[in-house]
Structure 1
Amino acid sequence: MKTPKRPQELEQAIPFLLTRAGSRMGNSFAKALKAFGLNLSEWRVCASLLYVPHQTVSELSVHASSDISALSRIVDRLESQELVRRERSSTDGRSIRIALTIKGEALALRIVPVAKRHEAVLLRDFAPSDVQVLRSMLLKLYENAGALEDLPQQPDDPL
C-alpha cells in the first residue's frame, strides 16, 4: 500500500491548483453576474451561443461544460426569461438548435466587458507571452483530460 501524500504535495498538484483557482474565479464572477440575473452556468450557455450561434444541445454541452440533463434545465430557465429559443434545424427537421434571442444577445454583450475586466485582473501580472503559454497549456490539459475517461476505476490498477 502506498504512503499517503503529504498535504504540501496535494497543494502542488495541478488538478488541485486548477480547481482551487477555478473556484475562486468562478465565485467572484458569479457575484458579478447576479446584477444581470444570471448564474455562472447560465452565463456559460449565453457566452457560448454569443460566440458560436445556433448550437445543438450536444455541441452546447461541450462548449458550456455542462452535462446534457443539466443543460436542458438551464436552457429551460433561459427560455422562460426569453434569453434563448429552441429552433428546428433547417437541414435536419429532427434536430433542435439553441439560439440567443435579441434580448439574450443584448444581455450577453453587456456582460462581455465585465468578463474581460475579470480576466484582465486575473492576468495583470503576466507577460503577454506567458498568457499565450498559459492558454496553450490549458487547452492541452483539456485535450489530455479526455484520456482520463479510459483510466481504470481502481486506484491500484496499473496504467
Structure 2
Amino acid sequence: MKTSRRPQQLEQAIPFLLTRAGGRMGNALAKALKPFGLSLSEWRVCASLLYVPLQTLSELSAHATSDISALSRIIDRLEGQELVRREKSATDGRSIRVVLTEKGEELTLSIMPLAKRHEAVVLRDFAASDVQVLRAMLIKLYENAEALDDLP
C-alpha cells in the first residue's frame, strides 16, 4: 500500500504563523499610531533609535526591519517632522548616523505605554516563563534566518 505524502499544512508552517501574528499585531498598532502622525515603519525607526541611538542606515535597516531604500524615505519624512536628524559620524567622516531629536524622543516615549499595552494584550494568557521562552526562541529564529541569505 502506497502512502501519499501531503505537504505540511500552511496553517502550521512557522513562517506563515509568524507573518499572520505579526501582521495582526502590526495592523492594530498602526491604527493606534495614526493620532500620533506616525506609520508603523516610522514608529519602528523611532523606537529603534530610542534604544540604540546614533545608528547608521545599515544598522537601522537591520534593527527596524526596513530595506535601505524605504528607510531613506522614512528618515526623510521623520526629518521633515523634526523627529530625527542625520549626523556625521565622529569616528568616520563618510558615515552618517541617525539620532532622535528631543521632539522625537518625547514623542517616542509618549507612545511607549501604548506599545507596551498592545504587547500585554497579546501576551495576556502566557505565563511569564513562557514569555521568556518565546522571546528567546524568536531571537534564535532571527539569528538562524541569517543562513537563509546563503541559500541559492
Report the counterpart of residue 97 of structure 1 in structure 2: 97
Amino acid at match of 2:140: K
Instruction: Report the alpha carbon displacement of residue 132 of structure 1 after superposing the two structures with TM.
Output: 0.4
Is 1:37 the counterpart of 2:29? The answer is no
Q: Find the aligned partners of 1:75 and 1:103 in 2 and give their Cα distance.
A: 15
Question: How far off is 1:4 after superposition?
Answer: 6.2
Q: Render the CA deviation track for 1:122-149: whole Å, top value 9, x for unaligned.
A: 1000000000000000001101111111
Q: List runs of 5+ in structure 2 lacking aligned partners.
A: none
The reply to whether residue 85 of structure 1 matches residue 53 of structure 2 is no
Alpha-carbon separation, structure 2, partners of 1:150 and 1:88: 32
Secondary structure of the 2:36 match is: coil
Following superposition of structure 1 onto structure 2, how do residues 100-139 of structure 1 map, counting pairs within 5 Å? 100-139=100-139
Correspondence for 1:13: 13
- Measure the CA separation in 2 of the matches of 1:72 and 1:3: 46
Instruction: State the partner residue of 1:64.
Output: 64
Q: In the alignment, which residue of structure 1 is the partner of 2:27?
A: 27
Structure 1 moving runs of 4+ over 6 Å: none
Aligned position for 1:76 = 76
Q: Displacement, 1:90?
A: 1.3
- Give the CA deviation at 1:5: 3.0
Sequence identity (%): 78
Cα distance in 2, alignment partners of residues 100 and 3 from structure 1 = 53
What's the secondary structure of 1:97's corresponding residue? strand
Aligned to 1:156: none
Task: Give the length in aligned residue pairs.
Answer: 149
- For the residues of structure 2 that align with 1:3 and 1:148, how far apart are their CA atoms? 25
Q: In angstroms, what is the RMSD of aligned CA positions?
A: 1.3
Deviation, structure 1 residue 3: 6.2
Distance in 1 between the 2:5 and 2:128 partners?
Answer: 41
**How far apart in 2 are the matches of 1:151 and 1:90?**
37
- Alignment partner, residue 142 of structure 2: 142
3-state secondary structure, aligned to 1:11: helix
How far 1:35 moved relative to its partner?
A: 1.0
Give how far 1:100 is off.
Answer: 0.4
1:25-75 per-position Cα deviation (integer Å, ceiling 9, x unaligned): 000000000010000000000000000111111111111001111100000
3-state SS, counterpart of residue 87 of structure 1: strand
